[in-house]
Amino acid sequence: MHTSPSLSTTPSLRSLSPAAQATPVVVSPVLVLGTRLHHLTWERTLDCMHAWTAAREARVIVACNVHSLVTARLHPSFRKAIHNADLATADGAPVAWMMRKLGCAGQARISGPDLMWRYFEQAAQRGESIFLYGSDEHTQALLVERIEKTFPGLRVAGRYCPPFRELTAEEDEAAVRMINASGAQTVWVSLGCPKQENWMTQHRERIQAVQIGVGAAFAYHAGTVKRAPQWMQDSGLEWLHRLVSEPGRLWKRYLVTNTLFIWWAAGQLVRSRLA
């Protein structure tokens, strides 16, 4: 596997706190279509998150699927946002498959929706608090209801549905104050790609918590959008389920992004074999 010598072998460009250093997390970065992702197991991902929340650190975690990688390839500013994240996971079976082909043995698919629910299960046992940022009022209300029923030990410290426009400086500052005043240890951001990754990057020095971008996770877990069956998720066909569900909105995105991903991924694999 060809890896740029400039890549860090730690989960972040920043030094880890003593709590995070004590966590048995070993993550190796790998470039997929030019974007840095981390070789992670579920256990290591969750352990790292726990260490950072226990230390009250400001961190950013992104989950990258095919759409994310193609967007990053086309827009260097978005790629920089992913590179600045403390952890970048393989969200999507094709991405995990590509990483395994590049030498990341056993790379798991760690999607935003799955990470959210798995972390909630552990966080509930520790009595942690969370903040929900994104989506709409109806979806958030249903999501909170389900969280309270499923994870009674988990406290929803606050939630905010930003308007579908850019916030004013005053609105943004008020939202940051609300998040920090809530005492939440994790902030779950559901704004969609690339908005959520850019938002977390812009706020990483202002929000005193671990931020995790989870895409459509709020809608999935609230039940307002039906997720693909498990077999489709496992076989890399979740995109097809979404396309069939919303063809008018998504056909162009998937036609373009999937085609570009296949073409660029094939080229990278050929080059890695010849290197």
Rounded to an integer, what distance in angstroms lies between the CA atom of residue 216 and that of residue 10? 28
Question: Does some domain include residue 169?
Answer: yes
Q: Rounded CA gap, 240 and 91, in Å?
A: 15
Helix (H) or strand (E) segment spanning residue 29: strand 28-32
In a domain, 234, yes or no: no
- Residue 100 is assigned to a structural domain of this protein: yes
Supply the pTM of this predicted model.
0.85
Rounded to 5 degrees, what are φ and ψ at 261? Answer: -60, -50
Q: What is the pLDDT of residue 225?
A: 80
135 in a structural domain: yes
Asked if residue 50 lies in contact with residue 23, where contact means CB atoms within 8 angstroms, the answer is yes
Total structural domains in the chain?
1
Expressed as residue numbers, the domain containing 102 is 22-217
Is 61 within the bounds of a domain? yes
Q: Return the pLDDT at 252.
A: 72
Of 76-80, 115-119, 161-165, 187-191, the one with minimum mean pLDDT is 161-165
pLDDT at 13: 31
* pLDDT of 8 above 90: no
User: Is there a domain that residue 254 lies in?
Assistant: no
pLDDT of residue 244: 66
CA distances in angstroms from 173 to 89, 137, 152, 167, 178, listed in the order given = 29, 20, 31, 9, 9
pLDDT for 250 equals 63
Residue range 249-267: average pLDDT? Answer: 84
- Tell me the average pLDDT across 31-52: 96
Residue 12 belongs to a domain:
no
With H, G, I as helix, E, B as strand and everything else as coil, classify residue 88.
Answer: strand
**Is residue 28, in this structure, part of any structural domain at all?**
yes
Average pLDDT of span 206-210: 97
Give the Cα separation of 113 and 74 in Å (integer): 25
The phi, psi pair for 250, rounded to 5°, reads -110, -10
> Residue 34 is part of a domain; what is its CATH number?
3.40.50
